[in-house]
């Protein structure tokens, strides 16, 4: 029976003591010695030897000492000592005289010393257990960083390849332009020295030939340089590098709906970074009929010089992207409606939001996604929900990063909070909500990782639109100031 020998561990059958085999009680109620509990822990789990209940644990010191059991054991021992002492007295033997008081004191001193060392050892083991948990957290963070850097490395390789091609193309075009310029200079000198009608005819025909070649070369320069895709790819990679280097990042979402779609006149000006939707279309390139006539050709000194073409070193650097465009009022016909969101890249949900704004993780992006629905319309906690980059119907939005996320997210809700109800373990964790009304009192939502710092009027205008699913993210990215 379990209660036949309460002073004995039911695993090793050794008596409990006040050193290595102190009795400890599990949450299921069963008691075992410290050593057996320590030996039973496997992979941060302990299975009770009696009832097989599962308990989370990394060290025996996590379970409380059963002081009641120790008191019972001491009582039993005192009864046994009394019994033995009585029998010894009857036999004419005095147990207190088996060793001298000096030796008894020495023994007690060593016992106390050993007990103190055991306690210090337990404390050190407990600290090591906590430190091991921290080390494992750091390992996870570095693995996540490695994954992000790998994706960025692939993007960087693509940018370098485009820049190499652009450099080769610029060199080829420069060689052709210099040759054309030289021929024009020769023709100019020849025209200064003609003396006969035949020479005039021959020289002008030859000059017209070179004029056409240089005109074609100029048109080709206008069509090819700068290559928007190359510049855009390079700057996008730089944006992500800048975002990864800052704990706080400002991102933007441009929303549009019928009646507020961007008009041609509201596209970014030449000094601003071309966005995907604003790239030059084939129909907007110079037509043959609009080329300069022979008599109006640019002089050699006015041709684009190699140093005036965009060189790799003159591409927009991190921190030099254009200022945010001025925004129209919600509901106006010109321009998209932009909101700025300030978030921390120290959180997994924050880093995921940045990657989905820039499209730098396997091409997944919030671009062209629609808002899905309005929650609690007209009530406290009113919010808009969006972010299904997979299916655009509310059924998708899987996590891009690791599901392990120990960050403690904000829970209080106020207008402008950006969060995710579904967190990283859900297949829809990339979906987000933006609150438009405070949620006062005891009610709280979890997963808040950022805040709208500009453009709440845009969000509220979207809420009041007749069909929220018509509201689309027409552009998104990281905002970096000049």
Quick check: bond before 297 cis, omega within 30? Answer: no
Q: Which residues lie below 8 Å from residue 183, measured CB to CB, with a gap of 6+?
A: 210, 213, 214
| Residues facing residue 339 across a β-bridge | 253
CA separation for the pair 157, 280 (Å, rounded): 25
Q: Which residue has the tokens 């005819």?
A: 201
Neighbouring-strand partners of residue 241: none
Phi, psi of 32 (to 5 degrees): -145, 170
Write the burial class of residue 267 (CB in 10 Å: 0-12 exposed, 13-18 middle, 19+ buried). Answer: middle
Question: How many CA atoms, within 13 angstroms, populate the side-chain half-sphere of residue 219?
Answer: 16
pLDDT tens digits in sequence order for the chain, 482 residues long: 455 678 889 889 888 888 888 899 999 989 999 989 988 888 888 899 989 899 988 888 889 988 888 888 888 877 765 554 555 555 555 554 567 777 888 888 888 889 999 999 998 998 888 888 888 888 887 887 787 777 778 888 888 988 888 899 999 989 999 999 999 999 898 889 888 888 888 989 998 998 999 999 999 888 888 887 888 778 777 766 665 555 578 899 999 999 764 443 343 443 444 444 444 444 444 444 443 444 444 444 444 444 444 444 443 443 333 333 333 333 333 335 899 999 877 788 888 899 999 988 888 999 999 999 999 999 988 999 999 999 999 999 988 887 666 667 777 678 999 998 766 667 888 999 999 998 876 667 778 889 999 999 999 999 999 999 999 999 999 886 54
**What CATH architecture does domain 1-98 belong to?**
2-Layer Sandwich (3.30)
Rounded to 5°, the CA angle 453-456-457 comes to 140
3-state SS, residue 362:
coil
Q: Give the C-alpha separation, 334 to 302, whole Å.
A: 37
Two structure tokens written together for 280: 């030059």
For the chain, which residues make up each domain, given as ranges? 1-98
Tokens of 151: 């994706």
Q: Which of 445, 426, 431, 284 is nearest to 364 (CA)?
A: 431
Query: Which among 451, 367, 368 is positioned nearest to 412, based on CA atoms?
Result: 451
* Distance from C-alpha of 114 to C-alpha of 110, rounded to nearest angstrom: 6
């Amino acid at each position: 029976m379990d209660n036949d020998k309460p002073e004995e561990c039911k695993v090793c059958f050794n008596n409990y003591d006040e050193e290595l085999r102190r009795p400890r009680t599990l949450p299921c109620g069963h008691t075992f010695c410290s050593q057996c509990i320590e030996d039973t822990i496997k992979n941060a789990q302990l299975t009770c030897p009696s009832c097989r209940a599962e308990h989370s644990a990394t060290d025996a010191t996590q379970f409380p000492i059963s002081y009641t059991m120790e008191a019972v054991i001491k009582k039993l021992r005192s009864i046994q000592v009394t019994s033995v002492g009585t029998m010894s007295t009857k036999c004419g033997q005095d147990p207190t005289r088996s060793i001298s008081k000096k030796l008894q004191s020495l023994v007690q001193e060593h016992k106390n010393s050993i007990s103190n060392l055991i306690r210090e050892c337990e404390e050190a083991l407990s600290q090591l257990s906590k430190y091991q948990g921290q080390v494992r957290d750091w390992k996870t963070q570095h693995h996540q960083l490695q994954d992000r850097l790998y994706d960025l490395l692939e993007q960087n390789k693509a940018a370098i390849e485009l820049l190499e091609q652009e450099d080769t193309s610029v060199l080829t075009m420069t060689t052709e332009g210099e040759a054309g310029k030289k021929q024009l200079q020769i023709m100019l000198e020849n025209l200064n020295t003609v003396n006969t009608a035949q020479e005039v005819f021959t020289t002008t025909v030859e000059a017209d030939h070179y004029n056409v070649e240089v005109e074609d070369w100029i048109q080709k320069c206008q069509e090819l340089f700068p290559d928007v895709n190359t510049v855009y790819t390079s700057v996008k990679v730089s944006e992500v590098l800048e975002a990864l280097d800052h704990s706080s990042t400002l991102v933007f979402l441009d929303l549009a709906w019928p009646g507020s779609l961007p008009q041609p006149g509201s596209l970014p000006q030449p000094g601003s970074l071309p966005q995907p939707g604003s790239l030059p279309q084939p129909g907007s390139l110079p037509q043959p009929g609009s080329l300069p006539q022979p008599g109006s050709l640019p002089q050699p000194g006015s041709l684009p010089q190699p140093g005036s073409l965009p060189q790799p070193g003159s591409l927009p650097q991190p921190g030099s992207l254009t200022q945010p465009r001025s925004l129209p009022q919600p509901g106006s016909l010109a321009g998209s409606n932009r909101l700025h969101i300030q978030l921390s890249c120290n959180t997994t949900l924050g880093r995921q939001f940045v990657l989905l704004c820039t499209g730098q993780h396997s091409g997944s992006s919030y671009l062209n996604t629609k808002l899905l629905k309005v929650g609690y319309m007209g009530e406290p906690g009113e919010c808009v929900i969006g972010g299904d980059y997979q299916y655009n119907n509310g059924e998708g939005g899987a996590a891009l990063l690791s599901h392990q996320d120990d960050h403690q997210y904000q829970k209080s809700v106020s207008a402008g909070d950006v969060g995710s109800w579904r967190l990283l373990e859900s297949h829809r964790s990339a979906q987000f909500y933006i609150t438009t009304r405070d949620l006062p009192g005891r009610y709280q939502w979890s997963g808040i990782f950022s805040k709208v710092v500009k453009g709440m009027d845009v969000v509220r205008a979207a809420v009041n639109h007749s069909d929220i699913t018509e509201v689309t993210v027409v552009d998104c990215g990281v905002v970096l100031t000049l």
